[in-house]
Amino acid sequence: MAELVEFAKMNGLGNKILVVDMRGRRDTVTPEAAITLNADAATRFDQIMAIHDPRAQGTDAWIDILNSDGSKAQACGNGTRCVVQALAAETGRKSFTFQTVAGILNAQEHEDGTISVDMGKPVFTWNRIPLSEEFFDTSRIELQIGPIDAPVLHSPSVMSMGNPHAIFWVDRDPMEFDLERFGPLLENHPMFPEKANITLAQVTSDSSLRTRTWERGAGLTLACGSAACAAAVCAGRTGRTGRTVTIDVASSPVRQPLVIDWREDDHVVMTGPAEWEWSGKVDPATGTFTRDEEPCRDEQEAQVN
C-alpha cells in the first residue's frame, strides 16, 4: 500500500466534506482518488478540501478543492468551515488565512463553535461569472425551464462567488420542486460555459431565505455555502431582503441556519457550524483508505478471500 495521509470525514450543515492533510507533500489528491472515495458509502462526499503548505506569504495553507466527480472547484464555504474546525482543534488557534484559486479567505472560529468565513467580493459582470451571452443586468437574465407559456423556473439572478451561481426565485418551498430532474439540465445549460451551481430560493421574510441547491460537479447536495452566499447577495441586490440574511437550508438535516452578511465593504461573510464525524488515512493517488482503529480495506478483502 502506498504512503497514506490523514483525513477527516466532516460536514457543514450536512454538506459532506473530506478534509485531507497534504502538508509536507508535493503530490495532490487525484481525480481518480476522488471518484473512488465518492463511490464508497462510508466516504461519499460533496467536496474534498485538501490542505497544502502555503504558497503565499501571510497565509496558513493552500486549499485545493475537488468535487465528487473529480473536477476542481474554486470555492466551498461549508468545506472551509470544516478546515477551520480541524486546524483549530489541532493548533488551538482561532483565526486562519487560506489561499484558493478563487483568492484569499480569512476565517475565524468563535467561542460558541460557529465559524465565520470571509468569502470575498461577489462578481456580477457577465463575462466574469461567466455567461456565454452578454447581459448588462445580471440581477435577472432570460433563462427558463418548462413550457414557454408556463415555465417551472425562470429569470434567475446570476453571479460568481469564486464559482458561478444561478438563483431561481420561487414562491413556495424549494423542496416541492423536482430539482433532481432540473438540476443537471440547468448546470450544463449552454448559458454557463463553466457550468453553474443551481439554487432555488424562497423569500420568507425581509431578512430570511429558504434555499435548496444542485451543486456543480456534485449534484443534489444537503447544503452549499457559496450558494447560500450567492442567494443572500442576490436577494439584497434585487431588494428582496436587506444585506444581512438568515438562510434556512431546506435540504440540510441540521436545523441551525447560516447567517450571511453582505458588508458595506462588499465582502460577504458567512457564519455557521461544522461537525467532525470520524478520521482515517487515505492514499491520495488511489483513494484507498483506512478508518482509524480499523484494518485497511485492502487487508479486510484479503482476509475475506
Q: What is the pLDDT along the chain (305 residues), one digit of tens a residue?
A: 568 999 999 999 999 999 999 999 999 999 999 999 999 999 999 999 999 999 999 999 999 999 999 999 988 999 999 999 999 999 999 999 999 998 999 999 999 999 999 999 999 999 999 999 999 999 999 999 989 899 999 999 999 999 999 999 999 999 999 999 999 999 999 999 999 999 999 999 999 999 999 999 889 998 899 999 999 999 999 999 999 999 999 888 877 889 999 999 999 999 999 999 999 999 999 999 999 975 454 444 444 44
| 5-119+275-304 shares its CATH topology with 126-266 | yes
* 76 has catalytic annotation: yes
Distance CA 39, CA 175 (A): 26
Distance CA 301, CA 3 (A): 19
Q: Which residue has the cell 458509502?
A: 41
The CATH number of domain 5-119+275-304 is 3.10.310.10: yes
Q: What is the dihedral of CA 222, 225, 231, 234, to 10 degrees?
A: -160
The grid coordinates listed for 141 are 437574465
Annotate 7-32 with DSSP letters as a single string. EEEEEETTEEEEEEE-TT-S----HH
Measured between alpha carbons, how far is residue 67 from residues 33, 42, 72, 113 in Å?
Answer: 11, 16, 6, 26
- Topology of the domain covering 126-266: Diaminopimelate Epimerase; Chain A, domain 1 (3.10.310)
Compute the C-alpha angle 24/62/268, nearest 5°.
155
Contacts of 269 by beta carbon, 8 Å cutoff, 6+ apart: 116, 117, 118, 119, 260, 261, 263
The catalytic residue among 82, 224, 229, 234 is 224
What's the whole-model pTM score? 0.89
Nearest CA to 48 out of 218, 278, 228, 288 is that of 218
The grid coordinates listed for 52 are 497544502
C-alpha atoms less than 13 angstroms from C-alpha of 234 in its C-beta half-sphere: 33
* 296 has catalytic annotation: no
Nearest CA to 162 out of 123, 108, 204, 212 is that of 123
C-alpha atoms less than 13 angstroms from C-alpha of 119 in its C-beta half-sphere: 34
The catalytic residue among 76, 82, 229, 234 is 76
Q: Where are the domains of the chain?
A: 5-119+275-304, 126-266
SS3 at position 198: strand
